[in-house]
């Protein structure tokens, strides 16, 4: 496989291979010396057209643990608007002879576009509202770590599904396993027609009470302006997961969040800091998962 | 040059004639149209001088040159996408001998100088008749109506802000009212920009799946409803551009039943493709209005069959490759259509949805009536404006062979059935018989 453009393009078998490899890397990361020489002499570039600290840091650490030479190339959207096309940026980067391109871009489908036009391995670190595949992979890894499996689980994803690449990648990943998926949130942020295998709930309690896993999504502050939600206060009142949820959630339900959280909006402190929350585990697992992805990809010979 | 076409099947909605004919064109004028009972095999005189072209057209059709009510020629201002020279050449190769060019050039065709420029250029370099469409509002901004009477005098035959809807209902009302005095119809690009937001494809399961922002059908339908109501109240004709949804068809059907002066067009891509064509983020299938669902596609075919949609237009929208070689969200809307539109439309005949006569009406007399450009059809003594067509000839679309500068087509590599072999427009002869 040359690229990781999205979960859509992966088979269940390929997902399992990545997750198994990630497990091996997690063991490496627990050793005293956390670096492996596997990709010494190869180069990775982190090409971020949208600001991101967390994802870029996680990728950078993963790349360094694999002994890759790492370049960071941050492009503010405004300078792109002024001139260079994505194609030209890509060709410039190609001229540096890099082997791996980790890209985040505001356009859905841009990762695929780039992958089709370069011999380097492209890893999608988020393209518009389309996919964020490594997030879904690290989420799956984290769920399996706690629950031992994905098959047979009920997963509720709560929040701004329509604008979330995390929700989509998770949907595509979980749909390749025997899972039940609920989308929960205000109708303005959920798809009009439910995708296959998904149930839609406007009522938070109904949507999450039987779930084994509750994934919360960050509410973007600008949604209020677009009239998707009346106010953050109202959102938090109706769809924020607060300590009352402990009264109806199953005892072993785990709470996840891709970060960064808006404490007091989609998630309350009592939930975020509870023993049910595996949010920090997700962050740790991100590194091993991203190492596995890079390790398994093979750039095209130039 | 004298052209003699023998044994052709003629279908001419203008003269209301059908049958087997021999046609002679002498120096650009139709000198003889002879109807005959049956095909008589002939022996072509191979030693004829180079000034005589003889064709045994047995099994072939002769139609009046097609009229496209909706073309983007891009000149002035965007000559890197298309020029009047290349666009009109693409037109005649595709069977169109009269095309109406939209106002969204740079500068916008909102003043007579631009209209004169287009007409002069077309006369100088064009291969077919060019009828400019003036802007409804100055600069296509939707704020003030343009100098419609002066534009009409300069040669504009209709008014449209195509590409941009007139969002303000009051301005649209004024434009419709005013057009009564001008005597040229308003062509409305129906789209509520607030509902479209920054959508890039049809809204539905697929847009969610691809993570692309959807354009709801309501965005088109709401504005069609508005324009029909305005047209009804003002008793002014309105022509609806590029209809793409089944809901729009319901509205137009009802309006026609109520006696509103509404006419409508669709384009070959809306009855040929569905949103599935953008499945792979194919920017060449990105068009506005977007390709819709199978249900809509079926409804459009049905509407063509029952005459709810009057016209097939190309919405020829050439773009430079750099404007399509970008991520889907950023790609410009449009398909380079002139060279595939007629063959795609002939599928409606092959599928038994339309008779040949019905199809040719939607490509000739219907747009001619709406635009009041008074075409006469194939009659002795008039300027030749005919096409010779093999409706069964199979050929493969190759964008690199397009005369249009716009290579943006989702049909590249498609095998189509039906080809224009010869276009005669006055003294200009375009012979495509040697092409595949």
Neighbours of A65 (CB within 10 A): 21
Q: Which CATH number fits domain B2-62+379-431: 2.40.170.20, 2.30.40.10, 3.90.1150.10, 1.20.120.530?
A: 2.30.40.10
Give yes or no for a contact between A287 and A62, defined as CB atoms under 8 angstroms apart.
Answer: yes
Q: Is the pLDDT of residue A81 over 80?
A: no
Above 70 in pLDDT, residue B216? yes
Q: Rounded mean pLDDT of B258-281?
A: 97
Residues of chain B in contact with residue A108, where contact means CB-CB under 8 angstroms, are 210-213, 281, 327-329
Mean of the per-residue pLDDT values of chain A: 94
Task: Provide mean pLDDT across the span A169-174.
Answer: 98
Which residues does chain B have within 8 Å of residue A193's beta carbon, measured at their own beta carbons? 204-205, 208
Contacts (Cβ under 8 Å, ≥6 apart) of A149 = none
Please answer whether residues A162 and A185 qualify as being in contact, where contact means their C-beta atoms are separated by less than 8 angstroms: no
Chain-centroid distance, C-alpha A131: 8
Q: What's the CA dihedral at A54, A56, A58, A62 to 10 degrees?
A: 180
- The proportion of chain B whose per-residue pLDDT surpasses 90, expressed as a percent, equals 95
Question: What confidence score (pLDDT) does residue B2 get?
Answer: 94
Tell me the catalytic residues of A: 54-55, 82, 104, 132
A178 — pLDDT class (breaks 50, 70, 90): very high
Pick B329's closest partner by Cβ from A107, A191, A193.
A107
* pLDDT above 50 for A78: no
Q: Give chain A's count of helices (H) and strands (E).
A: 11, 9
| Contact predicate B62/B23, CB 8 Å | yes
Least Cα separation, residue B332 to chain A (angstroms): 14
Q: Is B118 exposed, middle or buried (0-12, 13-18, 19+ CB in 10 A)?
A: buried
Q: Which residue from A14, A47, A173 is spatially nearest to A120, judged by alpha carbons? A: A47
Report the distance separating Cα B237 and Cα B180, nearest Å.
9
Whole-angstrom Cα distance, residue B25 to residue B53? 10
* pTM of the full structure: 0.94
DSSP string covering A4-56, please? B--STT--HHHHHHHHHHHHHHHHHHTSSS----TTTT-EEEEEESS--SHHH
Flag whether residue A188 sits within 8 Å of chain B, measured between CB atoms. no
Q: Answer whether B330 touches A (CB < 8 Å).
A: yes
* Contact flag B326-A86 (C-beta cutoff 8 Å): yes
Under a CB-based contact definition with an 8 Å cutoff, are residues A42 and A68 in contact?
A: yes
When scoring A113, A157, A227 by the number of chain B Cβ atoms within 10 A, the one with the most, hence best to mutate, is A113
CA distance A285 to A276: 17
- Minimum distance, in Å, between the CA of residue B326 and any CA atom of chain A: 7
Binary contact (B326, A105; C-beta < 8 A): no
Task: Say whether A87 sits in a helix, a strand or coil.
Answer: helix
CA-CA distance, B28 to B223, in Å (whole number)? 44
* pLDDT the model gives residue A190: 97
Say if CB B273 and CB B410 are below 8 A apart.
Answer: yes
Hey, are the CB atoms on A109 and B208 less than 8 Å from each other? no
ipTM: 0.92
Q: Tell me whether residues B211 and A129 touch, CB distance under 8 A.
A: yes
Q: Does B204 touch chain A (CB under 8 A)?
A: yes
Mean pLDDT computed over B226-253: 98
B153 touches chain A (CB under 8 A): no
Per CB-CB distance under 8 Å, the chain A contacts of B210 are 108-109, 130
**pLDDT of residue A77 exceeding 60:** no
Chain A residue numbers with beta carbons less than 8 Å from the beta carbon of B211 are 108-109, 127-131, 165, 168
β B415-425/B385-396 pair status: antiparallel
Domain with CATH 2.30.40.10 in chain B: 2-62+379-431
Cα–Cα distance between B429 and B423 in angstroms, integer? 6
Measured between alpha carbons, how far is A76 from B27 in angstroms, rounded to an integer? 63
Chain B environment of A112 (Cβ under 8 Å): 281
**Assigned token pair, A255:** 């709470």
In this prediction, residue A302 has a pLDDT band, given cuts at 50, 70 and 90, of low
Q: Are strands B17-26 and B29-36 parallel, antiparallel or unpaired?
A: antiparallel
- C-alpha span between B409 and B431 (Å, rounded): 23
Q: Which chain A residue has the Cα nearest residue B194?
A: A226
Domains of chain A, earliest start first? 12-131+286-296 (3.40.50.1370), 134-283 (3.40.50.1370)
Model confidence pLDDT, tens digit, residues B12-68: 999 999 999 999 999 999 999 999 988 888 777 666 677 899 999 999 999 999 999
Nearest one of A172, A175, A173, A195 to A183, comparing CA atoms = A195
- Cβ-in-10-Å burial (0-12, 13-18, 19+) of B406 comes to buried
Mean pLDDT for the stretch of residues A7-28: 97
Across the interface, whether the CB atoms of B328 and A191 are under 8 A apart is answered no
Give the mean pLDDT of B381-408: 98
| Shortest CA distance from B278: residue in chain A | A109
Element (H, E) at B17: strand B17-26
pLDDT (mean) for A109-122: 96
| A223–B contact, CB cutoff 8 A | no
Task: Name the strand (E) or helix (H) holding B134.
Answer: strand B129-134
Q: H or E stretch including B223?
A: helix B218-234
Give the minimum alpha-carbon distance from B160 to chain A in angstroms, rounded to a whole number.
Answer: 30
Rounded to a whole number, what is the distance in Å from the CA of A152 to chain B's nearest CA? Answer: 23
- Rounded to an integer, the average pLDDT of B163-167 is 95
Mean pLDDT (chain B, rounded): 96
Largest CA distance in chain B: 67
Residue A107 with chain B: CB contacts under 8 Å = 327-330
Nearest to B281 among A113, A168, A193 (CB): A113
Confidence of residue A167 (pLDDT cuts 50, 70, 90): very high
Chain B hits for A195, CB-CB cut-off 8 Å, are 205, 208-209
Q: Write the pLDDT tens digit of every residue in B344-375.
A: 999 999 999 999 999 999 999 999 999 999 99
Q: State how far the Cα of A51 lies from the Cα of A74, in Å rounded to an integer.
A: 8
In this prediction, residue B48 carries a pLDDT of 61
Contacts of B327 in chain A (CB under 8 A): 86, 105, 107-110, 113, 127
CA–CA distance from A184 to each of A100, A166, A199, B205, B302 (Å)? 36, 14, 9, 17, 39
Q: Does domain B65-371 have CATH number 3.20.20.140?
A: yes
Answer whether A177's CB lies under 8 Å from A217's CB.
no
Q: Does the CB of A227 have a partner CB in chain B at under 8 Å?
A: no
Enter the tokens of residue B374: 């008074």
Place of tokens 């959508």: B199
Cβ atoms of B429 and B53 closer than 8 Å: yes
> How far is the first Cα of chain A from the last one, in angstroms, to the nearest whole number?
15
Q: Helix (H) and strand (E) counts for chain B?
A: 13, 18
pLDDT digits (tens, 9 = 90+) for B78-131: 999 999 999 999 999 999 999 999 999 999 999 999 999 999 999 999 999 999
Record the tokens describing residue B33, joined without a space. 């149209």
CA A64 – CA A67 distance, rounded (Å) = 5
Give tens-digit pLDDT for B175-203: 999 999 999 999 999 999 999 999 999 99
CB atoms within 10 A of CB B183: 10
Q: Among candidates B45, B162, B32, B186, which has minimal Cα distance to B109? A: B162
Which range, of A19-33, A49-63, A199-213, B44-58, averages the lowest pLDDT? B44-58
Q: How confident is the model at residue A225 (pLDDT cuts 50, 70, 90)?
A: confident
- According to CATH, where is 3.20.20.140 located in chain B? 65-371
Give A 192-211 residues with CB within 8 A of chain B.
192-193, 195
Q: Kindly give, in sequence order, each residue whose CB lies less than 8 Å from that of residue B124, ignoring residues fewer than 6 positions away.
A: none
Among chain B residues, the shortest Cα distance to A107 is held by B329
Q: Max CA-CA distance within chain A? A: 59
Using the Cα atoms of residue B77, residue B80, residue B81 and residue B82 in order, give the sign of their dihedral: positive
**Which candidate, A240, A273, A245, A293, places its Cα nearest to that of A100?**
A293
Looking at residue B364, what is its pLDDT? 98
């Amino acid at each position: 496989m040359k690229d990781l453009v999205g979960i859509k393009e992966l088979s269940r078998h390929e997902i399992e291979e990545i997750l198994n490899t990630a497990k091996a890397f997690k063991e490496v990361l627990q050793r005293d010396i956390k670096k492996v020489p596997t990709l010494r002499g190869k180069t990775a570039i982190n090409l971020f057209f949208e600001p991101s600290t967390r994802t870029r840091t996680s990728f950078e650490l993963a790349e360094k643990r694999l002994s890759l030479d790492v370049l960071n190339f941050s492009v503010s959207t405004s300078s792109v608007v002024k001139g260079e096309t994505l194609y030209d940026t890509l060709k410039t980067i190609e001229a540096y002879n890099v082997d791996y391109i980790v890209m985040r871009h505001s356009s859905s489908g841009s990762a695929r576009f780039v992958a089709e036009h370069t011999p380097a391995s492209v890893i999608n670190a988020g393209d518009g509202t389309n996919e964020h595949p490594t997030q879904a992979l690290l989420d799956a890894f984290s769920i399996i770590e706690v629950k031992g499996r994905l098959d047979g689980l009920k997963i509720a994803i709560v929040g701004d599904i329509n604008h979330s690449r995390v929700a989509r990648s998770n949907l595509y990943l979980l749909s390749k396993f025997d899972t039940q998926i609920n989308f929960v949130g205000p109708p303005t942020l959920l798809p009009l027609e439910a995708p296959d295998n998904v149930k839609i709930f406007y009522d938070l309690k109904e949507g999450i009470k039987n779930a084994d896993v509750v994934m919360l999504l960050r509410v973007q502050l600008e949604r209020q302006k677009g009239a998707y939600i009346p106010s953050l206060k109202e959102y938090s009142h109706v769809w924020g997961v607060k300590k009352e949820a402990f009264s109806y959630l199953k005892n072993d339900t785990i709470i996840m969040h891709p970060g960064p959280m808006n404490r007091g909006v989609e998630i309350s402190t009592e939930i975020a800091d509870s023993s049910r929350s595996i949010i920090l585990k997700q962050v740790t697992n991100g590194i091993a998962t991203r190492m596995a992805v890079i390790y398994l990809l093979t750039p095209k010979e130039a | 040059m004298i052209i003699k076409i023998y044994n052709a099947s003629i279908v001419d909605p203008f003269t209301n004639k059908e049958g087997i004919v021999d046609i002679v064109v002498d120096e650009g004028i139709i000198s003889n149209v002879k109807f005959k009972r049956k095909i008589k095999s002939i022996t072509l005189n191979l030693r004829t001088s180079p000034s005589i072209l003889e064709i045994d057209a047995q099994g072939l059709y002769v139609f009046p040159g097609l009229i496209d009510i909706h073309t983007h020629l891009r000149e002035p201002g965007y000559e890197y996408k298309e020029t009047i020279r290349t666009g009109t050449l693409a037109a005649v190769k595709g069977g169109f001998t009269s095309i109406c060019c939209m106002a969204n050039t740079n500068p916008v065709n909102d003043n007579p100088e631009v209209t004169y420029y287009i007409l002069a250029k077309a006369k100088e370099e064009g291969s077919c008749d060019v009828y400019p469409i003036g802007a409804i509002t100055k600069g296509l901004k939707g704020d003030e109506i343009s100098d419609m009477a002066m534009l009409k005098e300069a040669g504009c035959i209709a008014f449209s802000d195509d590409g941009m809807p007139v969002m303000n209902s009051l301005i649209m009302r004024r434009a419709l009212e005013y057009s009564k005095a001008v005597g040229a119809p308003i062509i409305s690009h129906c789209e509520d920009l607030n509902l479209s937001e920054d959508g890039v494809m049809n809204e539905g399961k697929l847009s969610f799946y691809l993570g692309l922002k959807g354009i709801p059908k309501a965005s088109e339908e709401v504005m069609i409803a508005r324009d029909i109501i305005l047209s009804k109240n003002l008793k002014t004709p309105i022509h609806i551009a590029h209809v793409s949804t089944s809901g729009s068809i319901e509205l137009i059907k009802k309006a026609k039943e109520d006696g509103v002066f509404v006419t409508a067009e669709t384009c070959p891509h809306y009855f040929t493709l569905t949103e599935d064509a953008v499945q792979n983020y194919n920017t060449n299938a990105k068009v506005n209005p977007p390709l819709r669902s199978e249900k809509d596609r079926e409804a459009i075919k049905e509407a063509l069959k029952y005459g709810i949609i009057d016209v097939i237009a190309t919405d020829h929208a050439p773009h430079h490759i750099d404007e399509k070689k970008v991520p889907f969200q950023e790609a410009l809307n449009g398909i380079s259509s002139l060279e595939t539109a007629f063959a795609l439309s002939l599928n409606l005949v092959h599928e038994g949805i339309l008779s040949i006569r019905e199809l040719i009406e939607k490509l000739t007399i219907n747009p001619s009536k709406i635009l009041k450009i008074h075409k006469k059809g194939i009659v002795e003594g008039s300027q030749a404006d005919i096409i010779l067509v093999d409706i069964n000839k199979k050929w493969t679309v190759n964008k690199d062979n397009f005369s249009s500068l716009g290579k943006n087509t989702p049909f590249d590599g498609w095998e189509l059935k039906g080809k224009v072999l010869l276009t005669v427009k006055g003294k200009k002869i375009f012979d495509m018989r040697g092409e595949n």
